Amino acid sequence: MRLSFTSACCPSNFSIFTKPSLCTNLHRTVCSSSLSSLPTSLKPQVPLFLRPPVHSATVPDLRNWHDWAKNLASSVGTRFQDSDNGPDSSLLSRELKWLMEDAIEDHSVFSQLGIGNNQTNVRLKAGIEELYNLWKQRIEERRPFQYVVGCEHWRDLVLSVQEGVLIPRPETEHIVDLVADVVSDDEGLREGLWADLGTGSGALAIAIGRILGSCGTVIATDLSPIALSAAAFNVRRYGLQDAIELRQGSWFEPLKDVEGKLAGIVSNPPYIPSDNIPGLQAEVGRHEPRLALDGGLSGMDYLFHICNGAASMLKPGGFFIFETNGEQQCKCLVKYLGNDMRGSFRSLDIVSDFAGIQRFVTGFRQ
């Protein structure tokens, strides 16, 4: 079976993996994508915790590695924090614990790490050599922990992520709560067609796919083929192939067939002003895809674009929620939606995240 994405002209097909026999000419295989020059192969990487435990090490070897890794974490102190608000050593120690959780098959080993010289072998999902490398990358290259273990715990999901795919942020979880509120007392929205623009790992699409009713579906789009392959992996892992359709393309471009039919649109588009990109925390700036972060000069290029499209894409009464960079972008967007696009939307609102930063703009199509 070959991984391919249904394009806009095959809307009835809601599966991610399509047999080449049907509408072959309508499918564009990802290999021919213009973004195939990205360094990672398009076969999605399997997160560490899902790999088979085919490696092994003795308890003392594992302990040596752990002690070395712990020391390395301690040596960081607050250095990263002081330079770019990166992780301090206590955070890194916790990550080390989670790395072990993901890498070790049998968790009862943890209690043995402190004591005894047990020579029995521990089954591992990565060789001890690789564990040394992974932790070195974490500390020395500031490779994000989520890329090191290949997954991010987000809401009640564990999502596969890899280089080229934005690691979903905790702030974004709140979008799902807000959507849940909106659909809980509106059957039309609950059973309707939703769009997640710039789906990345598929986080929003999957979480929303799980709260919609049995007839509710989500179309998730992204320009990046790597993001889409990770999203496809995640959608399949949660068995949502029938509820979520992935489409490749820029914003609304692959959604022409559903114009005016959407019950809801969610999006967390790139919103960081271009000037801020060089000063980003190393984990973000050096490792996460610029395509997922850079929102143009003001950071609002895509937010404006999506607002404009939302007016024609949403059905009357349809709901939208967009994530922004903070208070300034929220206010600017609300003003734009209320003034420049007067008459298109109602009940415009700004919602804060748990850190108290104004983060989301919501509203309904008139």
Ligand X SMILES: C[S@@+](CC[C@H](N)C(=O)[O-])C[C@H]1O[C@@H](n2cnc3c(N)ncnc32)[C@H](O)[C@@H]1O
Q: Residues in the site for another protein, rule: CB under 8 A? A: 85, 87, 90-91, 94-95, 98, 144-146, 153-157, 166-167, 169-173, 268, 270-272, 276, 280-281, 283-284, 288, 292-293, 323-326, 353-357, 359
Distance CA 152, CA 316 (A): 36
How far, CA to CA in Å, does 351 sit from each of 172, 211, 333? 12, 20, 13
Q: Which residues of 273-300 are buried (b: 16+ CB within 10 A; e: fewer)?
A: bbeeeeebbbbbbebbbebbbbbbebbb
Total residues at interface with ligand X (CB under 6 A): 21
Q: Binding pattern to ligand X, positions 287-326, x when CB under 6 A? A: ----xx----------------------------------
Residues 7, 45, 162, 199: which binds ligand X (CB under 6 A)? Answer: 199
**Taking CB under 6 A as the rule, does residue 270 contact ligand X?**
yes
**Taking CB under 6 A as the rule, does residue 251 contact ligand X?**
yes
What letter represents residue 190's amino acid?
R
* Non-local CB neighbours of 132 within 8 Å, separated by 6+ positions: 65, 68
Task: Report the SS3 class of residue 272.
Answer: strand
Distance CA 309, CA 247 (A): 17
Q: Which does 203 bind (CB under 5 to 8 A by kind): another protein, ligand X, none?
A: ligand X
Q: What is the DSSP string of 318-334?
A: EEEEEE-SSHHHHHHHH
* Cβ distance to another protein smaller for residue 33 or 324: 324
Among all chains, which residue has been given the structure tokens 């806009």? 8
By CB under 6 A, the residues from 200 to 229 that bind ligand X are 200-201, 203-204, 221-224, 227
By CB under 6 A, the residues from 94 to 133 that bind ligand X are none
Residues 44, 86, 144, 198: which binds ligand X (CB under 6 A)? Answer: 198
Task: State the residues that interact with ligand X by CB under 6 A.
Answer: 166, 168, 172, 198-201, 203-204, 221-224, 227, 250-251, 268-270, 291-292
